[in-house]
């Protein structure tokens, strides 16, 4: 029944007759596509499972992550300026939110390299990187990205964000505080309606910071090119949803007297786990929104797996080789698997097996920074060889065909060889 309802909703929202309807009906039906796609993805359960996995990782890694992030700030003696921002995250936990914030900051203060030793320090760094890697894997799943960052890129980019990010946040908070304390702003605050406007802006500033933080995560974490507009759209919706959920959570869950009576001292742990789960789920949901805003053609089918076979597989292989060869000839190695997938309009999960086959056959090679280039000179790569590399059986090495089937497939292969002849990749570019 649910499957039938889902199919009926999909057919109704993507019916070609929508384009012939009135302007109001057209906008209304199109505006329902994103909620429908999000509800379908939530019902699938994958986002929920990944959110639960991130809760476990967070419990293990939150103190090492904060200690690692605050290391620069601790050296400057200003790491406690991020305490209000951490309290804002735990605010829905009610009275225990301030207590939990103080405990986390206390744990961070106690983390010292001289006490940990080399093994303990290596374990701390490993937990930090495993958490960030887990987050990247979840975002890559949302964006249907097959290839994660290389180890070198992970190390350099993760270190940059983890160490420099908190410094930028403290700098921004300091700038806001400095502006609010200037004589001009103080004079304007005494004049209405400027005074009320400044108070409103001060109250909204933390939420704007949350939206910008979410947008940065959506733009930076996935191993693909994310447009700023899509990241801001997902960050705005997720930030508003997070603030609304926090208010509801604080009212109906964190302040429940029955919960405290049942779970006693364990209640704060239970509530913290639930809030972490909701926060991660909202963050992943915002990433899904960013993905659909940038790639609206995926709204109807979502993560439906596409297995490239036959003509599609061969066409993708030729398209990959032509694009890679052209960029190589122009001395601009620009194509990665994810960028090629976005350019060709296919999921990276569908393109990756084709690229892997071309790499295994020597038609392609890959650099350390994940850029693709031809495996040999362009005038030595025949079109027939590309098709043969894609068509040959490697999945079942011991497969034995019947004599009649072998003869027929041989004639088909001869026909393809006759059609392509000695045409090379260089000939096609010329």
**What are φ and ψ of residue 424, in 5° steps?**
-105, 175
pLDDT at res. 169: 64
pLDDT at res. 79: 60
More reliable by pLDDT, 245 or 269? 245
**Residue 60 within any structural domain of the chain:** yes
**Residue 389 within any structural domain of the chain:** yes
101, pLDDT greater than 60: yes
Residue that the structure tokens 């490993």 belong to: 126
Contact yes or no for 345/362 (Cβ under 8 A): no
Instruction: Give the lowest-confidence range in 124-138, 176-190, 326-340, 377-391.
Output: 176-190
pLDDT at res. 291: 92
DSSP string over 310-364: HHHHHHHHHHHHHHHHHHHHTT-----HHHHHHHHTS-HHHHHHHHHHHHHTTSE
Query: Around 150, how many Cα atoms within 13 Å sit in the side-chain half-sphere?
Result: 10
349, pLDDT greater than 60: yes
DSSP string over 119-164: HHHHHHHHHHHHHHHHHHHHHHHHTT--S---HHHHHHHHHHHHHH
Asked if residue 418 and residue 372 are part of one domain, the reply reads yes
Asked if residue 188 and residue 155 are part of one domain, the reply reads yes
Asked if residue 276 and residue 152 are part of one domain, the reply reads yes
Instruction: Give the lowest-confidence range in 25-34, 133-142, 207-216, 315-324.
Output: 25-34
Contact yes or no for 354/316 (Cβ under 8 A): yes
Contact yes or no for 263/281 (Cβ under 8 A): no
Contact yes or no for 382/423 (Cβ under 8 A): yes
Over residues 150-190, the pLDDT tens digits come to: 777 777 777 777 766 666 666 665 555 555 555 655 565 56
Coil/strand/helix, residue 424: strand
279/276 Cα distance (integer angstroms): 5
pLDDT at res. 418: 78
258, pLDDT greater than 70: no
pLDDT at res. 26: 67
123/121 Cα distance (integer angstroms): 5
Over residues 384-414, the pLDDT tens digits come to: 888 888 877 666 667 777 888 888 878 887 7
pLDDT at res. 5: 75
- Domain hosting residue 403, numbered range: 310-429
**Residue 26 within any structural domain of the chain:** no
Asked if residue 61 and residue 142 are part of one domain, the reply reads yes
Contact yes or no for 366/375 (Cβ under 8 A): no
Last residue of a domain, one of 253, 269, 298: 298
Asked if residue 210 and residue 111 are part of one domain, the reply reads yes
Asked if residue 341 and residue 260 are part of one domain, the reply reads no
Asked if residue 314 and residue 250 are part of one domain, the reply reads no
Give mean pLDDT, residues 310-322. Answer: 87
What total of structural domains would you count in the chain? 2
Over residues 34-64, the pLDDT tens digits come to: 888 888 888 888 889 999 988 888 887 777 7
Asked if residue 385 and residue 274 are part of one domain, the reply reads no
Share of the chain above pLDDT 90, in %: 9
Instruction: Give the lowest-confidence range in 113-127, 353-367, 415-429.
Output: 113-127
Highest mean pLDDT among 34-43, 62-71, 306-315, 333-342: 34-43
Last residue of a domain, one of 298, 318, 339: 298
374/322 Cα distance (integer angstroms): 10
**Residue 424 within any structural domain of the chain:** yes
Asked if residue 241 and residue 129 are part of one domain, the reply reads yes
Give residue 350's pLDDT band: very low, low, confident or very high (50, 70, 90).
confident
Asked if residue 228 and residue 112 are part of one domain, the reply reads yes
Asked if residue 112 and residue 159 are part of one domain, the reply reads yes
Give residue 289's pLDDT band: very low, low, confident or very high (50, 70, 90).
very high
pLDDT at res. 18: 65
- List the CATH number of the domain containing 421: 1.10.10.10
**Residue 17 within any structural domain of the chain:** no
**Residue 3 within any structural domain of the chain:** no
197, pLDDT greater than 80: no
Tokens for 114?
Answer: 């001289």
Give residue 366's pLDDT band: very low, low, confident or very high (50, 70, 90).
confident
Nearest Cα residue to 347 out of 286, 304, 287, 317 = 304
pLDDT at res. 132: 83
**Residue 10 within any structural domain of the chain:** no
**Residue 1 within any structural domain of the chain:** no
b/e for 284-307, b at 16 or more Cβ within 10 A? bbbbbbbbbbbeeebbeebeeeee
Last residue of a domain, one of 267, 298, 329: 298
User: In 10 A of CB 262, how many CB atoms?
Assistant: 11
Asked if residue 86 and residue 188 are part of one domain, the reply reads yes
């Amino acid at each position: 029944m649910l499957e039938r309802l889902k199919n009926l909703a999909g057919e109704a929202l993507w019916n070609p007759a929508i384009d012939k309807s009135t302007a109001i009906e057209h906008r209304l039906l199109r505006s329902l596509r994103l909620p429908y796609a999000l509800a379908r993805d939530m019902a699938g359960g994958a986002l929920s499972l990944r959110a639960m996995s991130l809760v476990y990782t967070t419990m293990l890694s939150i103190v090492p992550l904060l200690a690692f992030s605050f290391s620069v700030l601790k050296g400057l003696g200003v790491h406690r300026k991020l305490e209000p921002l951490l309290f804002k995250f735990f605010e829905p936990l009610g009275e225990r939110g301030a207590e939990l914030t103080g405990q986390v900051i206390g744990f961070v203060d106690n983390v010292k390299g001289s006490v940990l030793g080399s093994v303990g320090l290596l374990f701390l760094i490993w937990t930090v990187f495993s958490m960030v890697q887990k987050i990247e894997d979840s975002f890559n799943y949302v964006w249907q990205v097959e290839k994660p960052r290389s180890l070198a890129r992970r190390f350099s980019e993760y270190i940059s964000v983890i160490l420099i990010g908190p410094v930028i946040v403290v700098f921004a908070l300091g700038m806001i505080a400095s502006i609010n304390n200037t004589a001009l702003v103080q004079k304007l605050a005494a004049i209405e309606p400027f005074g009320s406007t400044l108070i409103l802006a001060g109250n909204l500033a933390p939420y704007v910071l949350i939206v910008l933080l979410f947008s940065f995560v959506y733009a930076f974490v996935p191993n693909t090119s994310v447009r700023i507009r899509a990241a801001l759209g997902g960050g705005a919706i997720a930030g508003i949803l997070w603030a609304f959920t926090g208010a509801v959570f604080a009212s109906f869950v964190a302040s429940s007297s029955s919960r405290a009576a049942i779970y006693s001292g364990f209640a704060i742990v239970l509530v913290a786990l639930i809030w972490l789960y909701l926060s991660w789920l909202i963050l992943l949901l915002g990433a899904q929104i960013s993905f659909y805003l940038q790639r609206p053609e995926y709204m109807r089918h979502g993560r439906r797996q596409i297995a490239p076979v036959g003509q599609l597989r061969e066409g993708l292989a030729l398209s990959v080789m032509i694009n890679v060869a052209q960029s190589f000839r122009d001395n601009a190695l620009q194509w990665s698997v994810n960028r090629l997938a976005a350019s060709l309009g296919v999921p990276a999960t569908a393109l990756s097996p084709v690229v892997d086959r071309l790499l295994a056959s020597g038609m392609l090679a890959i650099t350390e920074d994940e850029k693709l280039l031809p495996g040999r000179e362009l005038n030595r790569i025949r079109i027939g060889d590309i098709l043969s590399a894609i068509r040959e059986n490697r999945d079942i090495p011991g497969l034995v065909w019947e004599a009649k089937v072998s003869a027929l497939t041989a004639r088909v292969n001869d026909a393809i060889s006759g059609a392509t002849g000695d045409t090379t990749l260089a000939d096609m570019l010329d």
